A and B are shown apart, each in its own frame.
Chain A
Amino acid sequence: MAHCEEIRPLLGAYADGELDPIESDAVVTHLQQCGRCRQVVRDQQQAQHVFDSYQPPPVAASEWASIGRRLRAELEGKGEPRVLKTRSRSEALEPTPVSTPALRPDEVRSARAAPADRSEFRRDPDLKRPPSRPWAAAPPAAAPLAILRPKPTRRHARNAWVAHAFGAAAAVFVVFLGLASPWLTPDDETIAPIVLAKPQDVIIMDIQTMDPDYNVVLYAGDADDVAALWVILNRRDQG
């Protein structure tokens, strides 16, 4: 069984239904045997229920005109500064039940010895426990596991599609860049680095020139120079 110090940080998220199934199972197993943590969860859920069920008091249609006049007067600086007469939301709520005080050591021992009070849990027939959990004690065979499953919140589910859409768009963009790179990169970059041939890298075996307007110049400079074969327009012949 997990200790209260390990489970206590998870209780808030458990009450809000934000735990993943494995963590939720661990909390449920602990709650079956720990009355104090169970009371914490119960308090949180009751407070949440009160907040969820709170409805602001109705305002009669005839009062809206009066409220509007007062607001306009205050905005124009003509009215008296008014003290807010409405109670804060927390004051308007029904008082939440007082949490169970901390258990004495003997109460803790008796709570551990006694079978867990599952009266406030409703049964969850869909729950499937993995075969081995190092932190979870095996449930009693006679008592099917019951779980208090809080109302799931959809806050994260609403935002999840944004992350998914962003990820998919980024992946598509990168794939597009990869596939389109042959068309996006200039032709110049497809050429291997140019290293010019030096005289010792070239052997000219035969030259045939069929254009009488050009003279051929075989250029082979010093040992460090490059070899080249140029044609030069014969200006004298042209003139």
Chain B
Amino acid sequence: MAEGRRVNAVARTVLMAAAAVALAAARPAPGAAPPAPTPDVVSVTILGIHATTQPQPHISPALRPIADELRRSKYNSFDLVASDVRTLAVGGSMETALLEGYSLRVVVEKVTGDTVQLVLSWSRQGQVRQQVRMALRKGKYFLTGGWELQENGALLAAIAAR
């Protein structure tokens, strides 16, 4: 009987733990793809990258898939300094502050099939430095930037819409 009670207690513990795990799993898992947006709404991601030259090269884990491409530049170390994900409708915009007063603004102009038309605007301390209108296939990251920073290195960004 004592064995039976012990089994019951263990079963109760396992059930409570399973319920807790189910509760925890009910929230969206980190890294999971966001829910499929409606046709005129896209999820836009801006990643800010600080490229530097270091005695000990390193790279942020999230940037490892594009490490080869990043290392084509004159820098050997890459830190993810910002990541911003917003859901935008056509005509919507988002702006992400980066380093040394730089910011990147993205406007969604059009969504057509698997392509999103965007306007990227690089600014520094409120002054627009560069503006690019482009069509980008959904889910693909576009590399841009290269602004040299006073402290060290350069500022890059990767933009995607899905």
Q: Give A residues with C-beta under 8 Å from B.
A: 13, 18-20, 23, 155-156, 160, 163-164, 166-168, 170-172, 174-175, 177-179, 181-182, 185-198, 201-211, 214, 216-217, 226-233
Contacts and interface: CB of A to CB of B under 8 A. Distances in A.
A205 B47 contact: no
Interface in B107-162: 117, 127-137, 139-148, 158, 160, 162
A207 B33 CA distance: 31
A101 to B, nearest CB: 30
A189 B62 contact: yes
Contact of B130 (A174, A177, A187, A231): A231
Contact of B9 (A23, A163, A186): A163
B143 A226 contact: yes
B123 to A, nearest CB: 10
B17 A174 contact: yes
Contact of B140 (A191, A197, A205): A197
A167 B9 CA distance: 8
Given A194-B141, A198-B140, A230-B146, A181 B2 contact: no
B16 A171 contact: yes
B13 A166 contact: yes
Interface in B1-40: 1-2, 4-6, 9-10, 12-13, 16-17, 19-21, 23-25, 27, 30-31, 33
A195 B148 CA distance: 25
Interface of B: 1-2, 4-6, 9-10, 12-13, 16-17, 19-21, 23-25, 27, 30-31, 33, 45, 47, 60-63, 65-66, 69, 80, 83, 85, 117, 127-137, 139-148, 158, 160, 162
Contacts, number: 176
Contacts of B136: 197, 201-202
Contacts of B4: 20
Contacts of A196: 66, 69, 140-143, 158
A20 B135 CA distance: 73
Give the dominant DSSP class at A's interface.
mixed
B66 A194 contact: yes
A210 B31 contact: no
A163 B13 contact: yes
Contact of B21 (A174, A182, A229): A174
B130 A233 contact: no
5 contacts: A156-B5, A192-B160, A202-B136, A230-B144, A231-B130
B141 A197 contact: yes
B130 A171 contact: no
Nearest to A170: B17
B137 A163 contact: no
Most B C-beta atoms less than 10 A away, residue of A18, A160, A167: A167
A18 B19 CA distance: 31
B27 A178 contact: yes
Contacts of A198: 140
